[in-house]
Amino acid sequence: MNAVVELKPEKIIRPQNMEAKTIRELVATAADVVAPVWPLKTFIAVNPLQGLEELPFEEAVIVAERHKNLHGHVAEGREAVNRELIKWCSIFFDDGQATIPMPNRHLGLYQAFADLAPFDCNLTRSKTAHSLLSSLPKSPEEAIFDCLNRLRIPDDQRVEFIRQSFTALPGWSGHVKWHEYWRSQSEAAKYRATLLDYMAVRMVLTCLLWPQARCFEEPSLEKPAYLEGLPTAESRYREGLLNQLLPQARSIDANTRQRPDAQLVFCIDVRSEPFRREIEAQGDYETLGFAGFFGLPVRVKCYDDEQPHDSCPVLLKPGYEVCEYPASADSTRVSRHDLGRELLRQPNSFYQWLKYNFATPFALVEMLGPWLGLRMLARTFAPSILSRLAASARTALVPPVPTEPALDGITLSQQAAFGESALRLMGLTEQLSPLVVLCGHGSTTTNNAYSSALDCGACGGNHGGANARILAAILNDEQVRSILADRRLTIPPDTLFLAAEHNTTTDQVELFSAPYAGTEHQSRIDRLRTDLAKAGIQNAENRSRSLGSMRLRADLASAPVKRRSSDWAEVRPEWGLARNAAFIVGPRELTRSVNLEGRCFLHSYDWKNDEDGKFLQTILTAPMVVAQWINNQYLFSTLDNIAYGGGSKVTKNVTGKIGVMQGNASDLMHGLPLQSVYADDDTPYHEPMRLLTVVYAPRQIVQALVELNPVLQKLFFNGWVTITVIDPQDGHNYLLGRDGTWQTAH
């Protein structure tokens, strides 16, 4: 039970010149320690210390450790405040798990709380408490001001007191920050939540449950022990990687680029690198790396989806919405597809309503218990068989139909701009092969709350196939090609762009339908499909060993990874981006002969086509920043999985369909689960180290970009990212020091 302390009634005299702006500034300043936390359906990697990136890495870690230790020995009053705040946040942010939603959410978090709190028996156990809740100010700014006065927090301690209040529950604070700054406009229209709202609610609860609250002095801490080993590990990895890359760099100019049978553009995701090696080994194929959203700031409504989703990096805002429509001329098949989908949707919606309704779950168990029991046994002991049967049944009921994106909302000139930017950014401006495959990626897992964390981060935690279809449609358009030709970017008439999607859990690549494919193209597609299957089997065999599966014959290698994707008890369907370490920007010739062990983000780039460094600036300020967030999330989730990770999947509970708590009430876990970064409870699989960026370009270009760009200065000079340049003009490798000077490493 929460102890409610008797409050002494006092009248708060609000000065006439007190402005809401002052309170907003206090909260905004204090929120620098809060990193945004995305919901599970679009769970993307974020540096948990993202709000502290203005500080040197070591100092930021110490600041975070101080706040962590400050709340390590939680006072009883603070714990009571936390419990109540978790309860209110859980019901306000619920995204469909509750049968009866919280009333008045459209008014905002603070106002909804203010309307209902007087009816909460946990909070109104005294007349004074009831009086306070019945006379709350209308605005969160006024509530915060009143509460700071009630708590007698001195003016010079108020920022730190609010900061410590945020860090008491960094997961929930971070989710509110996502709501305020990152949520799409269409979603934000449903209900509003700001950091001011959140802090006002916490302050009111603090006055009620912990009136003795004060600003605690931060404990003095030395540099955490785990920081001591980071520079050594990073230096060792950097030297080993450069020893492999430099010999390749010195022979690039001697290579003459020929037109391959096919070119395949994969996402820069580290999981693409091993697959690229395997498909290149199957024939005359060239692979390239590009951010998986293919440079398209779009919101996508796939044909079978109920709602559209943002399919671009969270650093961008979608400028266009693209819907898919059936491309099949068989109207009967399309009608069967639509009817089957509706037949599946309605019973499932009814089942979910019965399952979560407070009056019907027990009767539901009695009615469906035997069937669900048999299904549970099948899912446990024969997941692969059940998955195949379910897929066959769905295909029979909902026959698949090919789809195409509707590009009417994007002007022809803008389509040409997107196509040109993508081709020039990755250096694909000449010797285009007859078949160019744009390959997005996604994952397939069962009973996995973190499934979106395995999808494409560049697509906002979604599958990337839709973006590939959009860019393929753009580049296949004759009008677009005509515009590009006028801009000295000629696409050969026999070149066909084909969309595809790489399933990173099963190592299968689906080639989407090509409405413009002729007989010659179809034969190439058939041959490529066969080679992709071979590459998938080989890659599956390699991945199975890293997942602990025993070595199998090549023809059986894909069985373990397919089982993992369909097994509802599997806590580790794949390793995701674990062991990521470097971001390499340059031509494929730099890395093609090197086994990078799936540890590197690979972004294609040709400095000769980028004299002013415009494309390189885009790569370093967008894809590299996303890679740095991913790297830091894995790093801190490994170093301290309780504070920065997601804890064990065994003890987690999903709350409101938005996030994960440990047990039935905890902070919102905002990192990766233990099983994503550890091979077992005591053995890390991910090797913690900060991101290394390797750029193959003249040092002068990189130097100019760093001097002009505050984002790069922050990351490089504060030690969040290390950058080294392989200069093609003199063959030397240069390491940028944190003081801004270059050191010749080789």
Does residue 446 register a pLDDT over 80? yes
Q: Taking the complete model, does pTM exceed 0.85, yes or no?
A: yes
Q: How far is CA 617 from CA 295, 614, 707, 709, in A?
A: 14, 5, 12, 9
Give residue 126's pLDDT.
83
pLDDT in tens, 417-435: 999 999 999 999 989 999 9
- Within this chain, do residues 413 and 382 fall inside the same structural domain, yes or no? no
pLDDT in tens, 655-713: 999 999 998 889 999 999 999 999 988 899 999 999 999 999 999 999 999 999 999 99
- Within this chain, do residues 295 and 378 fall inside the same structural domain, yes or no? no
Among 57-66, 182-191, 364-373, 616-625, name the most confident range.
616-625
13: in domain: no
116: in domain: yes
Give residue 224's pLDDT.
83
299: in domain: yes
Does residue 482 register a pLDDT over 70? yes
Nearest to 200 by CA among 150, 159, 139: 139
Rounded distance, CA 461 to CA 593, Å? 31
654: in domain: yes
Tell me the residue range of the domain where 117 lies. 20-209
DSSP assigned state of 732: -
Give residue 395's pLDDT.
85
Mean pLDDT computed over every residue of the chain: 89
161: in domain: yes
- Within this chain, do residues 586 and 660 fall inside the same structural domain, yes or no? yes
Does residue 15 register a pLDDT over 50? no
Give residue 491's pLDDT.
96
Rounded distance, CA 568 to CA 571, Å? 8
Task: With cut-offs at 50, 70 and 90, classify the pLDDT of residue 17.
Answer: very low
**Which range has the worst mean pLDDT, 81-85, 297-301, 347-351?**
347-351
CA angle 681, 683, 686 (to 5 degrees): 115
67 or 583, greater pLDDT: 583
Does residue 326 register a pLDDT over 80? yes
Does residue 275 register a pLDDT over 70? yes
- Within this chain, do residues 81 and 193 fall inside the same structural domain, yes or no? yes
What is the number of domains present in the chain?
3
Q: How far is CA 269 from CA 275, 452, 580, in A?
A: 11, 14, 9
Among 206-210, 302-306, 373-377, name the most confident range.
206-210
Give residue 316's pLDDT.
87
Task: With cut-offs at 50, 70 and 90, classify the pLDDT of residue 400.
Answer: confident
- Within this chain, do residues 608 and 481 fall inside the same structural domain, yes or no? yes
Give residue 256's pLDDT.
62
Task: With cut-offs at 50, 70 and 90, classify the pLDDT of residue 254.
Answer: low
Q: Averaged over 731-741, what is the pLDDT?
A: 94
Q: Looking at 375, 397, 419, which one is the last position of a domain?
A: 397
- Within this chain, do residues 180 and 284 fall inside the same structural domain, yes or no? no
5: in domain: no
Task: With cut-offs at 50, 70 and 90, classify the pLDDT of residue 20.
Answer: low
- Within this chain, do residues 488 and 408 fall inside the same structural domain, yes or no? yes
- Within this chain, do residues 175 and 284 fall inside the same structural domain, yes or no? no
- Within this chain, do residues 451 and 518 fall inside the same structural domain, yes or no? yes
Ordered DSSP codes for 13-70: ---TT--HHHHHHHHHHHGGGPPP---GGG-----TTGGGTTS-HHHHHHHHHHHHHH
307 or 741, greater pLDDT: 741
681 or 455, greater pLDDT: 455
**Residue 458, token pair as written in the block:** 């560049």
Q: Averaged over 511-535, what is the pLDDT?
A: 88
Does residue 190 register a pLDDT over 90? no
Ordered DSSP codes for 633-701: HHHHHHH-HHHHS---GGGEEEETTTEEEETTS-PPB-S--HHHHBSSSS-BSS---PEEEEEES-HHH
Does residue 392 register a pLDDT over 50? yes
**Which range has the worst mean pLDDT, 172-186, 529-543, 544-558?**
544-558
**Residue 523, token pair as written in the block:** 């034969």
Decide: helix, strand or coil at residue 744.
strand
Q: Averaged over 213-225, what is the pLDDT?
A: 80
pLDDT in tens, 87-98: 999 999 998 888
Q: Looking at 379, 397, 415, which one is the last position of a domain?
A: 397
Does residue 6 register a pLDDT over 50? no
Percent of the chain with pLDDT over 90: 66
Task: With cut-offs at 50, 70 and 90, classify the pLDDT of residue 243.
Answer: very high
Task: With cut-offs at 50, 70 and 90, classify the pLDDT of residue 653.
Answer: very high
- Within this chain, do residues 246 and 191 fall inside the same structural domain, yes or no? no
226: in domain: no
Give residue 663's pLDDT.
87
215: in domain: no
Give residue 74's pLDDT.
63
Give residue 360's pLDDT.
76
Q: What are phi and psi of 637, to 5 degrees?
A: -65, -25
Give residue 270's pLDDT.
97
- Within this chain, do residues 267 and 147 fall inside the same structural domain, yes or no? no
Give residue 493's pLDDT.
93
- Within this chain, do residues 283 and 351 fall inside the same structural domain, yes or no? no
Q: Averaged over 715-740, what is the pLDDT?
A: 95
**Which range has the worst mean pLDDT, 68-82, 292-306, 318-332, 592-606?**
68-82
Q: Looking at 349, 378, 397, which one is the last position of a domain?
A: 397
